[in-house]
């Protein structure tokens, strides 16, 4: 009887263990994949919120648990390196390359590939300002005191005012002003929404404004204007003060441009191999993203509504991303 009780306990224990393993497995993922939530980071601009929610909702369709976590654009790498955060869907070549390279060099994060979108970020001015600063878009026109004053406000006069993005975006605009000896004062917008609200207000009044504009976005399509033509970016410009017109300072050039990358914790591919494959397969175009941002920022739709609409129209496409 003692032997029988031991056998019974052993069988019951095995069944309990089997049941526990079954419960912990994702609904459609293989038994080897974790049921822990995949944590995707959220930042402070509309396009990134859309990109991230599309990826998250696609992963949910594949049976994964997903968690959205608000995180600082550059400081998020500390969490990605420890595995406390898992996926960042937008790291822009224009502003995030240095932070991304430093993080991947640790071996704790990896680049999951391009998003398919091409990034451009630079100083931008409305077309009507060329009358007051006819040398534009050449950056050297900004060195003229009369031109700078044309972009001034009561708070910055006689210096011109440049409205930069939120401080968390990086971009080295303060350093750029100093290294190129521009008579401008950098003022940082508190949020993405505040940045474009100020553009809308100034444009309607034909008031002076010079600000950070980025693409993909609706603004370059809605408003007539141009990006300032700074000296072309090179790695040496940011890394070697001797490069460029100012041999004593770095950042004497424009911002870089190029890919928008997906990046994340190096453990994703082992913990959630199916999700890893889907994240790498994710791709959107600038035109698609610009149209979705327009729906949110200009037409008043919620991010979730726009994502749901995109999912409905593109099911054959995203289904391929999660296909086994």
Q: Render pLDDT for 38-89 as a digit per residue (tens, 0 to 9).
A: 999 999 899 999 999 999 999 999 999 999 999 999 999 999 999 999 999 9
- Across the chain, mean pLDDT equals 90
CA distance 13 to 4: 14
Helices vs. strands in the chain: H and E counts, helices first: 14, 9
Is the pLDDT score of 26 beyond 70?
no
Global pTM value: 0.77
pLDDT band at 30 (very low <50, low <70, confident <90, very high): low
The pLDDT, as a whole number, for residue 95 is 85
Contacts of 237 (CB under 8 A, 6+ apart): 231, 243, 244, 250, 251, 252, 253
CA 90-93-96 angle, 5° bins: 70
Widest CA span of the chain, in angstroms? 101
Range 112-126 average pLDDT: 96
Contact 164, 188 (CB under 8 A): yes
Contact 274, 27 (CB under 8 A): no
- 132 closest CA partner among 223, 224, 204, 208: 208
CATH number of the structural domain 31-117+258-321:
3.40.190.10
Same fold for the pair 31-117+258-321 and 120-239: yes
Q: Where are the domains of the chain?
A: 31-117+258-321, 120-239
Q: Which residues pair with 162 in a beta bridge?
A: 186, 210
CA distance 120 to 219: 12
Instruction: Specify the fold of 120-239.
Output: D-Maltodextrin-Binding Protein; domain 2 (3.40.190)
The pLDDT, as a whole number, for residue 94 is 85
Contact 40, 70 (CB under 8 A): no
Q: How many CA atoms lie within 13 A of 79 on its CB side?
A: 18
* Residue the block writes with tokens 């791709």: 283
- 255 closest CA partner among 78, 57, 121, 96: 121
pLDDT band at 22 (very low <50, low <70, confident <90, very high): very low
pLDDT band at 119 (very low <50, low <70, confident <90, very high): very high
Least confident range from 15-19, 78-82, 111-115, 157-161: namely 15-19
Least confident range from 6-20, 70-84, 118-132, 160-174: namely 6-20
């Amino acid at each position: 009887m003692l032997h029988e009780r031991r056998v019974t306990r052993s069988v019951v224990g095995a069944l309990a263990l089997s049941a526990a393993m079954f419960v912990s497995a994702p609904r459609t993922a293989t038994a080897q994949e974790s049921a822990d939530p995949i944590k995707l980071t959220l930042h402070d601009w509309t396009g990134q919120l859309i990109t991230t929610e599309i990826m998250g909702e696609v992963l949910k369709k594949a049976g994964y648990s997903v968690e959205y976590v608000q995180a600082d654009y550059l400081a998020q790498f500390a969490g990605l390196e420890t595995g406390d955060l898992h996926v960042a869907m937008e790291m822009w070549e224009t502003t995030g390359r240095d932070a991304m390279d430093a993080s991947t060099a640790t071996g704790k994060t990896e680049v999951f590939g391009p998003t398919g979108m091409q990034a451009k970020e630079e100083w931008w001015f409305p077309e009507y300002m060329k009358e007051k600063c006819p040398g534009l878009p050449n950056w050297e026109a900004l060195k003229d005191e009369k031109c700078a004053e044309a972009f001034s406000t009561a708070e910055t006069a006689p210096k011109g005012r440049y409205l930069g993005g939120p401080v968390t975006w990086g971009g080295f605009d303060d350093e750029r002003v100093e290294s190129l000896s521009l008579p401008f004062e950098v003022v940082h917008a508190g949020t993405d929404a505040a940045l474009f609200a100020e553009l809308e207000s100034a444009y309607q009044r034909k008031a002076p404004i010079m600000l950070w504009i980025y693409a993909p976005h609706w603004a370059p399509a809605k408003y007539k204007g141009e990006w300032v033509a700074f000296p072309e970016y090179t790695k040496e410009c940011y890394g070697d003060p001797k490069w460029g017109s100012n041999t004593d300072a770095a950042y004497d050039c424009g911002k870089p441009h190029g890919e928008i990358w997906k990046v994340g914790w190096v453990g994703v591919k082992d913990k959630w191999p199916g999700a890893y494959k889907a994240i790498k397969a994710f791709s959107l175009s600038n035109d698609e993203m610009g149209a979705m941002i327009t729906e949110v920022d200009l037409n008043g739709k919620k991010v979730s509504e726009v994502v749901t609409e995109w999912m409905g129209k593109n099911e054959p496409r995203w289904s391929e991303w999660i296909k086994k």
